[in-house]
Structure 1
Amino acid sequence: MSSPQAACWSQGTPVCTQVASPEAKEEEDKIGDVSAKCQVSHGQCNSFSLGNEQSHSQLSALSWKDITSALSLANMVLGLFSIFCSFSRKSQCASWMLLISFLLDTLIGTMTRHLHICSKLGAELNDFAIFTTFGLASALLLGVDGPLNGFLAIIYVLATSFRLCFCPTGGTPVSKGLPCPYASCVLASTSLLTKGNTFILCCMASLLILFMIDQSYYPHDEILESESWKKAVFLGGVILLFFSPFSLTAFYCLLWSLSYIFFPDALWGKAICFRL
């Protein structure tokens, strides 16, 4: 009896039969396992790299939040030192602390806006630092020797509280009422120039209270994010603060603050008007 392979050959149909050996099959299985492992390991590497990038960005954002919170805490500590100096009847030292806080507050605001830092804890800490430094510490420059000075200091603190509670900025390019740091800068500069004359300080504080509770709009100066001359103004204040006498620094900061108070749109609101 003929075999099936012989029958096919006899009919003219070519038949090619390959039978895989057990050794070749094992090698193919091994190659498939290796390729599958490589694909899995490659996917794990991709996911690991993505996870590293996300964790790095989160750590970077967290670190900048910590830095801004630390600066706000330093601002509050300066305010507490100013309060201590006022109780110790060292008005020059107290005014010096307030001028440093004024420049530091500008830096904190710039970092928060530029890095898009949004932290509830940081915002609350910054508000508390502003109230302590530019509210309590600034009001104590008026002195608490007499009833009139004490009453005016209380009104100044209440005006600062009103400014923080009922006139929030909320990310808008303008704010209602004179910002507290500029009012504090005016008081500190006046205290340095007049050697702590309480009568002049009380007159100046009465005007600043009206400016703070007023509903007029003041633009955000954004000194470090605007024109070059504004950056030069800030840099000049920093240089004079640490390398010049008290009188020159106080006169410079007083002119800076008064220019913002009386010419908010003509000088400090120009870039914002263009952006709007």
Structure 2
Amino acid sequence: MSCPQASYWPQGSSVCTQVASPVAKEEDDKVGEVSTDCQVSHGQCNSFSLSNEHNHSQISELSWKDITNALSLANMVLGLFSIFCSFSRKSQCASWMLLISFLLDTIIGTMTRHLPVCSKLGAELNDFAVFTTFGLASALLLGVDGPLNGFLAIIYVLAASFRLCFCPTGGAPVSYKGLPCPYASCVLASTSLLTKGNTFILGCMASLMILFMIDQSSYPQDEILESESWKKVVYMGGVIMMFFSPFSLTAFYCLLWSLSYIFFPDALWGKAVCLRL
């Protein structure tokens, strides 16, 4: 009787093993399918979030490009208005437009250096705006009544062109070769406001600015809005005086500002003095 019992239990155990193994296999397959679905959904979520971040960065970069190009276009429009005022013999209004462009150009330079907005179209638009405003419009402050003033205005435009060819505004050099055009224009506009358009004094100042622009001396990047606090105070003082002070006081302030950069570039506006302070 012992032999049949011994032969019976192994058969039962084998039957139970054959019945239980398909159920466990089905459960393992379901768990594997669920984990695979979770991995696929997690990957889709990651790809979706990355695509959203990429689209957001593209939209942000595009908006900053549009703002920078709009400011460059506004700078050029101010230069065209200054040219129109010069032909209408309104030198005070023309000089006022150039001083506003001088302050606006500082903002454009800051955005170009520190924001991912570099584009070929924007650089060309900025160069054309600088040439129109700080080249042509500034030269017309000299007047074109006599042959001497007309010749000097042509030389000034050529000097500004020479300056832009060797140092375009689309780049970000450590230092400039020759006096930047906005500072030369600021000197002429301030002088025109202080002297009420005296052509002789303007001719002398224009000759001096031409020599500084074609000279190969190094001028540092002023970096007013991204440097020390006192430089930001100088800029904000110019903005406040532009809209809330008399023309003569604003012109004197801008003239001192430009002359300090021209005659003391490294002592006041260079990076060496920034590190020392």
| TM-score normalised by structure 2 residue count | 0.89
Report the Cα distance in structure 2 between the residues aligned to 1:34 and 1:218, rounded to whole angstroms: 67
Mapping 1:163-202, distance limit 5 Å: 163-168=163-168, 170-202=171-203
* Deviation of the 1:62 alpha carbon: 1.6
Mapping 1:1-276, distance limit 5 Å: 7=7, 9=9, 15=14, 16-19=16-19, 33-168=33-168, 170-271=171-272, 274=275
* Deviation of the 1:187 alpha carbon: 0.4
Q: Which has the higher helix share?
A: 2
- Worse overlay, 180-189 or 112-121: 112-121
- AA in 2 matched with 1:101: S
* Deviation of the 1:216 alpha carbon: 0.6
Distance verdict in 2 for CA 1:199–1:24, change over 3 Å: same
Distance verdict in 2 for CA 1:259–1:6, change over 3 Å: same
Contact 1:143 1:198 in 2 (8 A): yes
* Deviation of the 1:37 alpha carbon: 3.2
| TM-score normalised by structure 1 residue count | 0.90
* Deviation of the 1:39 alpha carbon: 2.9
SS at match of 1:175: strand
Report the Cα distance in structure 2 between the residues aligned to 1:157 and 1:24, rounded to whole angstroms: 88
Query: Which whole-Å deviations, capped at 9, do the CAs of 1:70-116 have from their partners, x for residues lacking one?
Result: 11111001000100111111111110100000000001111111224
* Deviation of the 1:36 alpha carbon: 3.5
Contact 1:224 1:231 in 2 (8 A): yes
- Worse overlay, 56-65 or 80-89: 56-65
Contact 2:228 2:274 in 1 (8 A): no
Report the Cα distance in structure 2 between the residues aligned to 1:258 and 1:5, rounded to whole angstroms: 115
* Deviation of the 1:118 alpha carbon: 1.9
* Deviation of the 1:10 alpha carbon: 6.6
Report the Cα distance in structure 1 between the residues aligned to 2:116 and 2:50, rounded to whole angstroms: 23
Report the Cα distance in structure 1 between the residues aligned to 2:5 and 2:159, rounded to whole angstroms: 108
Report the Cα distance in structure 1 between the residues aligned to 2:233 and 2:8, rounded to whole angstroms: 98
Report the Cα distance in structure 1 between the residues aligned to 2:146 and 2:54, rounded to whole angstroms: 59
SS at match of 1:178: coil
Distance verdict in 2 for CA 1:7–1:239, change over 3 Å: same
Distance verdict in 2 for CA 1:5–1:158, change over 3 Å: farther
* Deviation of the 1:254 alpha carbon: 0.3
Q: Which runs of 5+ in 1 are unaligned?
A: none
* Deviation of the 1:117 alpha carbon: 3.0
- Worse overlay, 125-134 or 55-64: 55-64
**What is the percentage of aligned positions where both structures have the same residue?**
86
- AA in 1 matched with 2:209: L
Query: Which whole-Å deviations, capped at 9, do the CAs of 1:19-40 have from their partners, x for residues lacking one?
Result: 2599998777666555433332
Q: Which runs of 5+ in 2 are unaligned?
A: none
Report the Cα distance in structure 1 between the residues aligned to 2:93 and 2:18, rounded to whole angstroms: 98
- AA in 1 matched with 2:187: V
- AA in 2 matched with 1:119: S
Distance verdict in 2 for CA 1:7–1:272, change over 3 Å: farther
